[in-house]
Structure 1
């Protein structure tokens, strides 16, 4: 092979590596942006309505918007696939959102709840070891620990214990483990050939709609609050947090591992603080940058190990 051919081959290989990197990194960057909007949405909605009411109408809006796009597909989908995705939806949406949202509503500080929720990759790794007999490498565990350390540094200025009842602090952790279980199930039970991503999102939102409605009816009303704040919070969480956040989460999970996808979310607290600075005027600090660098180092170790 001539020197020109070698140079051309190296150039082609470099282009392919760059394209491969962009194909993974761009969706993951968008995932961080969309996922962090969910914590902002909880903060935005907490002043206008109970958490479950916002979650109910958030799911209702997504179900209504997507039904014309997926109803034909859902009719043809095997019943076992529908039941599987419905169960995963109960864990991923109802369990996770109820745990984090109700924890904040019962007095757990938002920063502490977000920190517990961001233990997702650690929870996924632990559940994988216990139930799937996976064996993460030393580099992966080191990356997970660094990621948690970075999250602590980022959120240190807003962390506080609050005055919630002791049991309330377990709700965000239960929500995190609920999403971790759903993540492992979604990865292990591959139904991508039987149902599309829009179908998955619609079905999971429909099941969660019933779950949140069932939780509200015994003690309250499903009637929406006709105020600009309530409407904005429902639109925000439906479009950014559900369609964007969960859509990109399942999309990235299909292409990589549960631990990697969860580790990417280590960067979401810093982005959440940027959202809060832009929307609510909350201050930024140099510790946030230091935490991002530490979490980024942990994420690099996880990606390199896998």
Structure 2
């Protein structure tokens, strides 16, 4: 596994801890508004290159991907934390995304999964479920559990669209994240202001949660964007199978929660799934689409004319 893959798993897992930290000090809309504003401010220097480099279509596409992969995803995760869903459980549900993305990309490319890849899907899902045994607790409402499922759906749709729209090219991560963060900040600020929850609580814990979430967001989305554009949407999503067990490790370090043997076992099982799925159809870079690149001209060989007298035009 490459260095960027390891960084993706570690940093992405830290985002669930930031959501639980924020839920202890304020409502999800307040935390998300200030978290997204802080992220947008930090990424302001990359907006100028975005204005120069992106076309109107690029801005529209970035806005759609940002709404799905950031607004919907973060909203589901943070509201789930506020509803009492543990960080490990949110990581469990959202890391079922690899199966969704892999099946979708396989269908879109009309390829078939080999038995080893089907075994990888089953093994990865089993590893996630095994990790969840140490995190699930009784009394969590079904509606609350549906929130991380909504987050997973948003991230899956955003990932597939990004891979489809920018196939064969690598959009710069800085301007890309700057545009998406601007859309995210506007969305969450409008929600918090409309509900009258924009004012932040004057506590150190709240700002610690905001800082943690902002830095985790920039790091995780930046590396996720890099892995997606370099290795493909399916491969980037497959790595998320490792996040539940790593999230349990973060929770043990930050909140003092015990690291259960099931979490360690789940990490090992999920790692085996990543190995099986790393060369599955749809996990590599997708080929460039004809509508996303300049069409090639129909070039035909020019046949030389036989020698003869030169033709002249009579001027009119």
Alignment TM class, shorter chain as reference: 0.7 to 0.9
Question: Is 1:246 matched up with 2:236?
Answer: no
Using the TM superposition, give the Cα deviation of residue 130 of structure 1 relative to its aligned residue in structure 2, in angstroms.
5.2
Q: Which residue of 1 aligns with 2:260?
A: 285
Contact residue 154 and residue 269 of structure 1 kept, 8 A: yes
Q: Taking structure 1 as reference, are residues 210 and 133 closer, same or farther at Cα in structure 2, changes over 3 Å only?
A: farther
Tell me which moved more, 178-187 or 282-291: 282-291
Using the TM superposition, give the Cα deviation of residue 299 of structure 1 relative to its aligned residue in structure 2, in angstroms.
0.7
Q: Which residue of 2 aligns with 1:181?
A: 157
Offset from partner CA, 1:20-73 (integer Å, 9 cap, x none): xxxx61000000110000011011111111112111111111211221243243
Q: Taking structure 1 as reference, are residues 174 and 126 closer, same or farther at Cα in structure 2, changes over 3 Å only?
A: farther
Using the TM superposition, give the Cα deviation of residue 168 of structure 1 relative to its aligned residue in structure 2, in angstroms.
3.1
Q: Which residue of 2 aligns with 1:48?
A: 25
Secondary structure in 1 aligned to 2:85? coil
Q: Taking structure 1 as reference, are residues 211 and 304 closer, same or farther at Cα in structure 2, changes over 3 Å only?
A: same
Contact residue 45 and residue 54 of structure 1 kept, 8 A: yes
Counterpart CA distance in 1 for 2:138 and 2:123 is 23
Q: Taking structure 1 as reference, are residues 169 and 290 closer, same or farther at Cα in structure 2, changes over 3 Å only?
A: closer
Q: Which residue of 2 aligns with 1:237?
A: 213
Q: Taking structure 1 as reference, are residues 77 and 83 closer, same or farther at Cα in structure 2, changes over 3 Å only?
A: same
Counterpart CA distance in 1 for 2:140 and 2:279 is 41
Q: 1:171 aligns with which of 147, 170, 177?
A: 147
Offset from partner CA, 1:59-118 (integer Å, 9 cap, x none): 111211221243243244211101101110000000111112212323434433221111
Contact residue 36 and residue 271 of structure 1 kept, 8 A: yes
Tell me which moved more, 248-257 or 282-291: 282-291
Offset from partner CA, 1:255-305 (integer Å, 9 cap, x none): 112222111111111211111111111112322222111111111100144
Q: 2:196 aligns with which of 203, 213, 220?
A: 220
Q: Which runs of 5+ in 1 are unaligned?
A: 1-23
Q: Which runs of 5+ in 2 are unaligned?
A: 282-316
Question: Is 1:33 matched up with 2:10?
Answer: yes
Provide the TM-score with structure 2 as the length reference.
0.82
Q: Which residue of 2 aligns with 1:127?
A: 104
Any residues of structure 2 matched to 1:104-183 within 5 Å, and which?
A: 104-129=81-106, 133-164=110-141, 166-183=142-159
Counterpart CA distance in 2 for 1:163 and 1:111 is 13
Any residues of structure 2 matched to 1:14-93 within 5 Å, and which?
A: 25-93=2-70
Q: 1:256 aligns with which of 221, 224, 231?
A: 231
Using the TM superposition, give the Cα deviation of residue 133 of structure 1 relative to its aligned residue in structure 2, in angstroms.
4.1
Tell me which moved more, 276-285 or 108-117: 108-117
Q: Taking structure 1 as reference, are residues 238 and 134 closer, same or farther at Cα in structure 2, changes over 3 Å only?
A: farther
Q: Which residue of 2 aligns with 1:298?
A: 273
Q: Which residue of 1 aligns with 2:301?
A: none
Counterpart CA distance in 1 for 2:201 and 2:105 is 42
Using the TM superposition, give the Cα deviation of residue 132 of structure 1 relative to its aligned residue in structure 2, in angstroms.
5.3
Higher percent of residues as helix: 1
Counterpart CA distance in 2 for 1:134 and 1:52 is 41
Provide the TM-score with structure 1 as the length reference.
0.85
Bigger CA radius of gyration: 2
Counterpart CA distance in 2 for 1:58 and 1:221 is 14
Counterpart CA distance in 1 for 2:277 and 2:4 is 17
